[in-house]
Amino acid sequence: VVHIAAVNKDRSFDDYQRIYNTIAEKIREEDEYDGYIGYGPILVRLGWHSSGTYDKNDNTGGSYGGTMRFKLEQSDGANNGLGNARAFMEPILKEFPWISHGDLYTLGAVCAVQELQGPKVKWRPGRVDMPEDTTPKNGRLPDAANGADYVRNFYARLNMNDREAVALTGAHCLGRTHLKNSGFDGPWGAASNSFTNEFFVNLLNEQWKLQKNKAGNMQYDSPKGYMMLETDYALVQDPAYLKIVKEFANNEGAFFKEFASCFQKLLENGIDYPKDAPTYVFKTLDEQDL
């Protein structure tokens, strides 16, 4: 399968920055969502889950076709709770009907990372809505009840190496797990609506205890009320991963740099960009004095 980015010559950087601003302002206004965490984290998760179905072996899945708009993909258990993020995007799609679902969902994730004080993530337009029969089968997103070998294999399918896998998981500085969505409970840290290296600091510094939660699933809990999934904790159990966790805990700049590049790669997996395709770096609302 080949997916070539369609460059829309009628649209310029300003058109996409306008969409960015509309999403950013809505995140700012609807700040009471999920106990005042706001919509940022779940928009990051929507962009990631739209992209995380990618399989490098046959180039299927990924963000290109916008198949997250179909019931089949939405009904994957791993996508429980993402209805809130899609509902958030509904009025944006009405206001800007010319943008594809894949472009909107990935742009929303980039916007959320940047507005929550994360790194600038380069973004390129050109995803095209594809028909329902191109929707990947359920089961391609990761299962948290696993260790390092599973994590390494999973990220290999997304064409990600150890350093990229660790950096991507650092997105768990944002938001929280919800019993009703995933059967896990609690946040990874305190600053659940700002993008930092806190996930790595907490992995190394908290006193973790593996226990069964109210839903009967195993998770690591700390006295401060933080949690880690088994796949998160695998990053300190595996020596190669641990080295990278230590680096990112000690050097937030190194984490930001790696995250910016592998998050762009994740969102673009499976897409061929023509040479004349533009690359955009959006301004935050702050930078525009908005």
Residues that bind ligand DDH (CB under 6 A): 41-42, 44-45, 48, 81, 142, 144, 151, 154, 168-169, 171-172, 174-178, 181-182, 184, 229, 231, 263
**Closer Cβ to ligand DDH, 98 or 234, answer by number:** 234
**Closer Cβ to ligand DDH, 124 or 176, answer by number:** 176
**Closer Cβ to ligand DDH, 64 or 263, answer by number:** 263
**Closer Cβ to ligand DDH, 166 or 249, answer by number:** 166
Nearest to 115 by CA among 53, 186, 39, 7: 39
How far is Cα 130 from Cα 110, in angstroms, rounded to an integer? 22
Nearest-approach distance from CB 13 to ligand DDH, in angstroms: 25
Q: Known catalytic residue: 188?
A: yes
Nearest-approach distance from CB 119 to ligand DDH, in angstroms: 12
DSSP per-residue codes, 40-100? HHHHHHHHHHHHTT-BTTTTB-SSTT-GGGSHHHHTSGGGTTTHHHHHHHHHHHHH-TTS-
Nearest-approach distance from CB 30 to ligand DDH, in angstroms: 14
Nearest-approach distance from CB 151 to ligand DDH, in angstroms: 6
DSSP per-residue codes, 5-47? ----TT--HHHHHHHHHHHHHHHHHTTTHHHHT-SHHHHHHHH
Catalytic one of 3, 48, 172, 188: 188
Nearest to 27 by CA among 107, 102, 108, 98: 108
Catalytic one of 3, 49, 101, 172: 49
Q: Known catalytic residue: 49?
A: yes
Active site residues: 49, 188
